[in-house]
Amino acid sequence: MKRNWIAATAMVAAATLLTACSGGSSSGASDEKVTLTYANWSEDQTPAMQQIATEFEKANPNIAIKVQTLPWTEYWSTLQVGAAGGTAPDAFWMLADHFREYAKGGQLLDLSDTVKSNKIDMSVYPKAVSDSYTYEGKSFALPKDFDTNGIWYNKALFDAAGVKYPDDTWGWQDVQDAAKKLTDPAKGVWGIAAPIDSQGGFYNTILQAGGSIINPDGTASDFASPAGVAGLKFWTDLQAAGSSPTLKQLSDTEAVSMFENQKVAMYFSGAYWALRLYKNPELKNKVDVAPLPQGVKRATVTSGIGNAGYAGSKHPEELKKFLAFLGGTKAAEIQAATGTVLPAYKGTQQPWLDAMPEFHLQVFIDAIDYSVPLPVAGNASEWQGLAAQYLTPAWDGKKPVQDAAKEYQDAVDQVLAKK
């Protein structure tokens, strides 16, 4: 779920809502009662975050945690303004594609000593996630959760069309064929949602075609290679066949909402939708998930949210204590038991599976074996934000895929060339 940042100046007022609440200076933890703010962007996860905060407060009565939730459309611009102006929350969620710009700017609290002093074993987290929050050998966030991708599908729509459910034997052609059979224009139903989605969509198919997205040293992209074009064409072919809503329709109503509204039968995306879909009484018994299809090989990108701290916090020692708790077993167990999200901490995932037994969520854990880290080279948020600009003509059938891919590759490489 990637979106462009809203102009920072428009969010100055909102940024004040995230101001660290405790005034004065602090040279270390003390018996003084202080309040730390903890920001996130998910209303679905807020109850669990509050439960985690309450557990921390029980063990640390001198520290109060104020959980704050902002809409995704406001989160990043508000954080950007707050970090630049000294009003950022103390603790907040971070994504790998935004991380480097904050780390390079000195706006994140260095947690390297916290990891050592608390004897935090970083091997308990998926390496792809923990590595995403390391910069110049220092740790700036502790993994909160992780995600891989699968095929979310509507069993009722499959049954109505007489189509076999997806399973681990499916390849690309199986998806194409099923999407066509599932599409029923008279009922306003499409076989699949095919938006310009990197993390849930074309990154995975490029990898499945044998591509690499970004080369190992982070200096060039792979979108115009034969594998890159094949991975993009998987999606443009679905659009051309009429098996997906158009980009205009997907702009008016997000793909996940169309899936929830039972207008699309398949939606490639991550584990993070599980709780939202499970809580929907119209979907709970109609929805399930299967592995992504195989191309030349099986592959999915993986990433996860990191809990980070603001370097300008007035209470850094208390903040480090809270962040260490967020990275521990108790916080992970709460997330899992409530079904909130797939926790990053090794050995705490089973309660998440048990919380939603109607879904075959083991698919997401099994996918770790063939997962590839989400590419975050250079200013990732900048070059990823160019995808819609350069790829829309191909999705709309107005430009050959290879031409759009080459133009996008050139634009991405220009961003990667920046120091």
Q: What is the DSSP letter of 310?
A: B
* φ/ψ of residue 294, rounded to 5: -95, 145
Average pLDDT, the chain: 92
Q: What is the pTM of this model?
A: 0.86
For the segment 208-238, what is each residue's pLDDT rounded down to a tens digit? 999 999 999 899 999 999 999 999 999 999 9
Q: Answer whether 145's CB lies under 8 Å from 128's CB.
A: no
Q: What confidence tier does 31 reach under pLDDT thresholds 50, 70, 90?
A: low
Residue 35 parent element (H or E):
strand 34-40
Confidence at residue 419, expressed as pLDDT on a 0 to 100 scale: 63
CA distance 19 to 88: 5
Q: Answer whether 386's CB lies under 8 Å from 392's CB.
A: no
Confidence at residue 379, expressed as pLDDT on a 0 to 100 scale: 87
Mean pLDDT of 81-88: 94
Higher pLDDT, 23 or 339: 339
Q: What confidence tier does 6 reach under pLDDT thresholds 50, 70, 90?
A: very low
Among 386, 339, 342, 402, which Cα is nearest to 366's?
342
For the segment 376-418, what is each residue's pLDDT rounded down to a tens digit? 888 888 999 999 999 999 999 999 999 999 999 999 999 999 8
Among 64, 56, 77, which Cα is nearest to 10's?
77
Among 268, 265, 276, which Cα is nearest to 293's?
268
Q: What confidence tier does 198 reach under pLDDT thresholds 50, 70, 90?
A: very high
CA distance 132 to 146: 11
Confidence at residue 3, expressed as pLDDT on a 0 to 100 scale: 36
For the segment 253-284, what is each residue's pLDDT rounded down to a tens digit? 999 999 999 999 999 999 999 999 999 999 99
Among 300, 2, 297, 288, which Cα is nearest to 126's?
300
Q: Where would I find the beta strands (DSSP E) of 140-238?
A: 141-143, 149-154, 190-192
CA distance 191 to 180: 6
For the segment 345-366, what is each residue's pLDDT rounded down to a tens digit? 999 999 999 999 999 999 999 9
Residue 18 has pLDDT above 50, yes or no: no
CA distance 328 to 343: 10
